Amino acid sequence: MTRSERTSRKGLSFYLPHRHVWTPGKSTERVVFDASSHGRNELSLNHVIYEGHALTPSIHEVLLQFRTHKNTMVADIQKAFLQIRLPDHHRDATRFLWIKNLDSLAEGDNVEYYRFCRVPFGINASPAILNQSILKHIEQENSPIGKELSKSSYVDNILLKGETSDDLIRKYTASEQVFSSIGMNLRDYLCNSSIVNDSIEEPDRAKDKEIKVLGLSRNSIDGTLSFACTEKIQKKVSKRTVLSQINGFCFDPLGLLTPLIVPVKVFLQDIHKIKLGWTRLCQTKQVNSGIQSEATLSASVNRFQRSLYVTTTSEDGKVDTQLFTAKSKVAPLKKEQTIPRLELPSIFLGLSVAESTIAKNDVKFARVNVFSDSTIALFWVHTSKKLPPTVTTLVQKIGFAIERIKTSSPVMFYHVPTDENAADCATRGVTKQEFAESNWWTGPKWLNYLCETWPNTEKEKTDTIWPVETVSNYSKLKRIVAYSLRFIRHSSKNRHLQLLDSGVQTITPNAAEIGLAEKYIVKQEQNIHGTSAAIQNKHFNVGYDNEGILKRFGRIQHADVLKDVASPMYIPRQSILRARIAENIHRSMTHCGSNQLVCELRQRFWIPKDKALCIKAVRNCVTCKKFNSAPFSYPDMGPLPKERVTQAPPFSHMGVDY
């Protein structure tokens, strides 16, 4: 800064108000300039200056990098804003007054006039000017460290990440060289690895083991982030004091303390419902009723929440789950929302955070699991049925997010019981004691176990349409289904249904009707007993054909054989239909043996462990038992002769004739 004349030159002129700020724990004071200050019916400097684009990632994105990499290192640009020079014709916009002697009046020679020669902190355009200047010089470097610095810098804070200590040591040297070429100095390097800290030169190393990083305190020993919370008890409660309590309670961009803030947010919304002014005091009844409603009403009625947990497995096999980030929103007041409709935005919020973490932090998850305690919301996400317009819009957004995430990680949906849902404490709000004892930080215990043991949605039992269990003859079963389909075709108004069109009508079901009936029976058994396990088994090599029937595709797809031989229909092992089919083929093949039965069965069907099935079918066949068994049983054998069981000298009962 330089001293200036009392009268400014032509152009914009503005005097910046200023005051001192003293931070506990520091021996120096800081002078803060307020470019947003203005008189009545006048504009401030920040009103007339274009703010510009900062071109920096959000604080949330930068802080997530602390939680996605094993080793991280932070640094600070020394006097970052004061490194950018202001043009001479812009300096009068940053004038300020300085009083020599505070004991005298602020007039005459006791008042000095100054103006900034560098970009001051406090003007809305300062971050954009600083960041664009840094990015311009970094892009000229065209190096890997330059690309990382452009993605992981926020104003004057720099974050470097690496998998090993050697990576961060190299990045420390490279970043020093990059900013030295710009004319800036990086200082206060601090890493959560003691090896890296010892490699940093003493002038560049941070003196304290705990420093501020984007408003949060970071400990270099264990790499933890800590929050400084201030709880002010207001005797007089108004809308203004409640909002001040929310904003001043704690700076929490990651949303880790959401359960403690949510009740106050909902109370602020309750005050807004009764259209209370900003300064009008709340009555005691309103305060008490507002606080009481938080414990009695269902939390999901007026708010929705998403929490993102990350599960890691160490080299020794230890599994650990930690809260990654969280966010809650209060439901809009314009329209009453049902709980399932509020669950859909929660699912979309969670997928958006996972997508952003994967895309912007160079992280690849083995899989992305989405948990919800609403079975209706999970049904909406997977159904192909027509839904209300508002629900359809959200489901489409969720579908697009799933497709984008699937390019790098698979997405799976699970149902979680409400009493085990860790995000539930954020939607209903908890006390300090409940918050400390909850599973908010680690999630449910079963997250550390195999996914096969996780709770899942209880599937509704499907009633069978075709009587597979009550009809013992497979040929008779196909005729019953064929007659039923014929009745449906005659009773239906749509006479052109593709699956029900059987061609020429006969008295008894023809071959086309019998074949169609068999497909319906097989599809019913596949739907009842499930096909996901068979599809996931790589050795089975099964898949759906054009008619929605699960078949096994072997290596003879191009052979000159029937379609059913090349790709036989899959019959689940748990289905009783497999026994009906084996018994029917056994009878039609004039009660053949088990080996021939296996060969004939594989011509059209593929059943796991079919050989054991065929042996059992032949063994239980009543006709085969009649023909293969002896005509009568042999009598019991009598006792052995005395000569054979009595001890005697040789040749007492027999001799040798020479």
Question: How much is the mean pLDDT over the chain?
Answer: 80
Mean pLDDT of 2-7: 74
Highest mean pLDDT among 62-71, 313-322, 501-510, 643-652: 643-652
Beta strands in 17-99 (DSSP E): 18-22, 29-33, 71-77, 95-99
The CATH fold of domain 298-453: Nucleotidyltransferase; domain 5 (3.30.420)
Q: Residue 498 above 50 pLDDT?
A: no
Higher pLDDT, residue 598 or 257: 598
Residue 470: its pLDDT value, please? Answer: 85
**Confidence class of residue 107 from pLDDT cuts 50, 70 and 90?**
confident
- Give the Cα separation of 231 and 11 in Å (integer): 47
Q: What is the DSSP letter of 300?
A: G
Mean pLDDT across the stretch 506-519? 87
Contacts of 115 (CB under 8 A, 6+ apart): 1, 2, 4, 91, 92, 94, 95, 96
Q: Please give the pLDDT value at position 299.
A: 34
In sequence order, the β-bridge partners of residue 220 are none
Strand order in the sheet with 95-99: 2-3, 111-115, 95-99
- Top-confidence range, 49-63, 471-485, 502-516, 541-555: 471-485
Using the predicted structure, report yes or no on whether residue 452 has a pLDDT greater than 70: no
Rounded Cα–Cα distance for residues 384 and 396 (Å): 11
* pLDDT greater than 60 at residue 503: no
* Comma-separated ranges of CATH 1.10.340.70 domains in the chain: 474-628
Mean pLDDT of 316-342: 75
- For residue 494, the model assigns a pLDDT of 56
pLDDT recorded at residue 311: 78
For the residues 82-105, what does the mean pLDDT come to? 88
Task: List pLDDT tens digits, range 357-399.
Answer: 777 766 777 888 888 888 888 888 888 778 888 888 888 888 8
Average pLDDT in the 628-646 region? Answer: 84
How many residues does the structure list for the chain? 658
What's the pLDDT score for residue 62? 78
In terms of average pLDDT, the best of 193-197, 611-615, 626-630 is: 611-615
Confidence of residue 606 (pLDDT cuts 50, 70, 90): very high
pLDDT at 30 > cutoff 70 = yes
pTM above 0.85, yes or no: no
Q: What is the distance between the alpha carbons of residues 546 and 562, in angstroms, rounded to a whole number?
A: 16
Q: Where in the chain is the domain with CATH 3.30.70.270?
A: 55-79+127-226
Cα–Cα distance for residue pair 114/360, rounded to 1 Å: 43
Comparing 94-108, 425-439, 598-612, the range with the smallest average pLDDT is 425-439
Q: Which of 104-113, 181-190, 255-264 has the lowest mean pLDDT?
A: 255-264
Query: First CA to last CA across the chain, in angstroms?
Result: 142
Asked whether residue 171 carries a pLDDT value surpassing 60, the answer given is yes
Q: Percent of the chain having pLDDT more than 70? A: 85
CATH 3.30.930.10 fits 474-628, yes or no: no
For 203-248, the pLDDT digits (tens) are 888 887 777 777 777 776 766 777 777 666 666 777 777 777 766 6
Per DSSP, 262 falls in state: H
How many H-runs (helices) and E-runs (strands) does the chain carry?
23, 20
Q: Which of 59-63, 92-96, 526-530 has the highest mean pLDDT?
A: 92-96
Give the residue from 628, 595, 629 showing the smallest Cα distance to 614.
Answer: 595
Among the four given CATH numbers 3.30.70.270, 2.60.260.20, 3.10.450.230, 3.90.1300.10, the one describing domain 55-79+127-226? 3.30.70.270
Domain with CATH 3.30.420 in the chain: 298-453
Residue 574 tokens read as 């748990």
How do strand 411-415 and strand 368-372 relate by DSSP bridges?
parallel
Please state, in angstroms and rounded to a whole number, the distance separating the CA atoms of residues 541 and 557: 13
Q: Is the dihedral of CA 87, 92, 98, 100 positive or negative?
A: positive
